[in-house]
Amino acid sequence: MSESASTGIGPDSCTAGIPKAYEPQAVEEKWYAFWEKEGCFTANADSPKPAYSIVIPPPNVTGVLHMGHVLNNTIQDILARKARMDGKEVLWLPGTDHAGIATQAVVEKTLRKEGKMKHRDDLGREKFLEHVWAWKEKHGGIIIQQLKKLGCSCDWSRLRFTMDPEYSRCVQKVFVELYKKGLIYRGKRMVNWDPAARTALSDEEVEMTETKGHLWHLKYPMLDAAGQPIPDQFVIVATTRPETMLGDEAVAVNPKDERYTRLVGTKVLLPLQNKPIPIIADDFVDPKFGTGCVKVTPAHDPNDYAMATRHHLPLTVVIGPDGRMTNEAGGGFAGLDRAEARKAVVEQLEKLGLLLKVEDYVHNVGHSQRSGVPIEPYLSEQWFLKYPAVESSTKAVEEARIAFHPDRWAKTYSHWMTNLRDWCISRQLWWGHRVPVWYKKSEIRNPKSEIRAADIYCGMEPPPDPENWEQDPDVLDTWFSSWLWPFATMGWPETTPTLKKFYPTTDLVTGPDIIFFWVARMIMAGYEFMGDLPFRNVYFTGIIRDKLGRKMSKSLGNSPDPLELIAKYGADALRFGTMRSAPLGQDVLFDEKDVELGRNFCNKLWNACRFRQMQGGEVQGEMNPALLTSDDKWILLRLDRAIREINAAYAEYHFNEIAQTLYRFFWSEYCDWYVEAAKAPLQSASPAQKANTLAVMDFVLSHTLRLFHPCLPFISEELWHGMGYSADMPEAQGGKSILFAPWPKPLSDAEKETWGLDDAADQLAAAKYDLVGLGRNWRREFNLPANKKLHFVLKPAGPLAAPEVEVLRLLLNAEQIRVDPGYNPPQGTPRVANSLGELYLPLTGLIDFAAERARLTKELEKARAEVAKVREKLDNPQFTQKVPPKVLEEHQKRLADWQAKVNQVEQSLANLPA
């Protein structure tokens, strides 16, 4: 039966208990307020129950809910709610991240727009931070309220913020300890520099983007021994960044490249700067790149910097921290933006005849993850961390003490852990945790890496004589605070009851894009400061994309507002629609139709419960095994199968399979088949039989609502109480809330034996439904209205009880089913058969055979014409070899569909009497 078809559970009349229509907004507001007021989400560290804990990946404090949050937090909420129903003491710990670069950039932009500053230096550090804190207070709670709208069952009494005083103390303590261990040091290194945010970035904050650019081939004049240019003799270098040539200090060749070995030790003239630079030999040079000669710009390329160190070359900085050319670049270029300087340099070289050629060139360019601008390799003094606890953290994943889901990410993790580079942890920002290091004021003008240890103070409190010291102006990378999240949020360094009860945490749900930023670093921090892993399982979500497979973005206009979807369809619908299309670790192709399907599913659940309530009778009465019909036994076995499948899916973190199993069981098996079949005993004259059917319905629905609760928390809670199921439960086990109702268990062998749930009853019901499905096809085949009462003849394969025939009659919407073991049908009478017997549909008086033959003949001609049209395209190599795979696949499916239509119409024609 189609999803839009009626199952008889429609809004036909109203009951005193459950309202006629489901109004999600009112239900959601009511129950969330109830859960909060009753402290349903608050974890008790003194509880004797086994612990389950999960820490939220802290969203940016000034962020707003997007579809990625919906996916991630719905999964977390499902896990937390399921654990409560499993009888565990659950802590889902929420919080927000101060998001240094992102938040500071937003506030700076706002203040510039308001005319309050041109640069933050205009305000000064203290005044600027007042504005940031004011911004945080105004916007910081928005995403928390939005998560509540989604139904997130976080313990809000434990809400944390990475700039809270207690949390900041944790960050300071970690820095001081690692500094004293010699793992944190100050050094001058080539770093990734964001010229827009004017701060250093870690390698993980740089996104490589394929970029269409150019490869410029430049001519550097060769010099003789006296330093004079040799006429018409040049060394050709190829570069993607001609503006950096102003800082060149050498030209390098490979020592094994025979084309250039004779030139090593000679010099060339650096154009535009008019200074001699040497030709050096270095194994790093790839003889196959460009001409085999590479320009060496030590201050603006990490590989060139390494070569300069080996060959003792000077470092000339020609691009400043603001992305503009410095005075060292020369008078004609100083002050230009780097992009402007590129054009100017190319123009000058072309005028001088020193530009040999320009080629189109596609290459990967590093961009700042936050500001989106190309990063600049920049020589800068920064704070670095040598990663701690590397061996134990690597083994924890390799030996599956920490399980990754999907496990393919374990290889990615292991590869990164074996190729670690020291982490640049300082940022040239004002918003964040300030580096807890002070320098003697007498030494402050010296390079920090050269200041004597005696003139540096590192501590959680300022020096005893603060007037003689000046604090380091840098702040710490945001990830330096969030890598402590699993234990710093629970009261560390104190051994609090919360920390003792809930650490290590059970699950972490996050995206694979931050496996290095966050996951790996949390594991190292856990082993370093807690001596134990921070979590036992990591579930990596996919990326939410639109139905065309594009990443969601504001510029494409394909990123829906989750709050608008909740207002339109309800939170449960959004959750269920998202889960149903979220395979383990794969990208999610979002389509609003999935949310609409989720809403339809909620309405189906609502109407199914109303239908049961409209029948009256005792709620959750005892089932009498002697009165169980084959349909009752079939649905009980299907419920048992659904519970087992859902439990297995939870164990493997296959959330889409959970949603799909719930959908199949409830929509198809319960509503489409069982409820329709149950109308026979419900309409019978036997009160005992009717009561038994209602008891089966209550048993199935009470179990189903509990199965639904983690995915559909609001509607399941409303119906749990509306159906009266909460009244039969102790308060701590579902009486107060379905949150604490025990998770359904599969049927035991003893229960199956008591209720007679054997294969025979299951097969009988399955055979009935199969025969009904075959019989229903005749309505479509012969163009018969769905509401027309038909007459069928059943030639049974064996004895068949009258109640079973009555169920067949109802499901086939038949006026009558005549049971005739000796039936001899007229020629051309349509027939279907299975293990239950043979079903016939006498057509005499039902249709006009001549008109029907004409209609089907016309339909057959059209179908054959469509087959020929599609086949002509697919037989044409010019079409099949040029169209995208998706278009080819669509045409192949179209051919299969029309061929099936031809077969169906041919069969219908054959069934007509001659």
pLDDT tens column, 414-429:
999 998 999 999 999 9
Residue-wise pLDDT for 218-234, tens only, equals: 999 999 999 999 999 99
Tracing tokens 């009558």 back to the chain, one arrives at 816
Query: Half-sphere exposure of 671 toward its Cβ, with a 13 Å CA cutoff?
Result: 29
Helix (H, G, I), strand (E, B) or coil at 254: coil
Q: Which residues of the chain have pLDDT under 70?
A: 1-16, 449, 554-555, 914
Nearest residue to 418 (alpha-carbon basis) of 528, 536, 520 = 520
- What pLDDT does 3 receive? 37
Q: The domain 206-369 is classified under which CATH number: 3.40.720.10, 3.90.740.10, 3.90.1640.10, 3.40.190.10? A: 3.90.740.10
Write the single-letter amino acid at 796: P
* φ, ψ at 266 (rounded to 5°): -85, 180
Cα(342)–Cα(376) distance, rounded to whole angstroms? 14
The architecture CATH gives domain 849-914: Orthogonal Bundle (1.10)
β-sheet bridge partners, residue 51: 89
User: Alpha carbon 673 to chain centroid distance?
Assistant: 35
Extended strands (E) in 415-534: 423-424, 426-427, 437-440, 456-458, 469-471, 475-476, 505-510
**Region class of 79: left (phi > 0), else alpha (psi between -120 and 50), else beta:** alpha
- In this prediction the pTM is 0.85
Tell me how far apart the terminal alpha carbons of the chain are, to the nearest angstrom.
32
Distance (Å, whole) CA 631 – CA 622: 17
Helix or strand or coil: residue 141? coil
How far is 84 from 549, CA to CA, in rounded Å? 36
Structural domain boundaries in the chain: 5-15+564-757, 206-369, 849-914
Dihedral class, residue 151 (left if φ above 0, else alpha if ψ from -120 to 50, else beta): left
> Helices (H), strands (E): how many in the chain?
28, 29
5-15+564-757: CATH architecture: Orthogonal Bundle (1.10)
- Strands lying side by side in the sheet with 199-201: 199-201, 184-194, 376-385, 423-424
Are 289 and 261 spatial neighbours (Cβ–Cβ below 8 Å)?
no
Two structure tokens written together for 910: 């054959």
Q: What is the pLDDT of residue 555?
A: 64
Q: Which two tokens stand for residue 6?
A: 């009626």
Task: Output the CA torsion sign for 600, 603, 604, 605.
Answer: positive
What is the maximum alpha-carbon separation in the chain? 119
The enclosing H or E element of 200 equals: strand 199-201
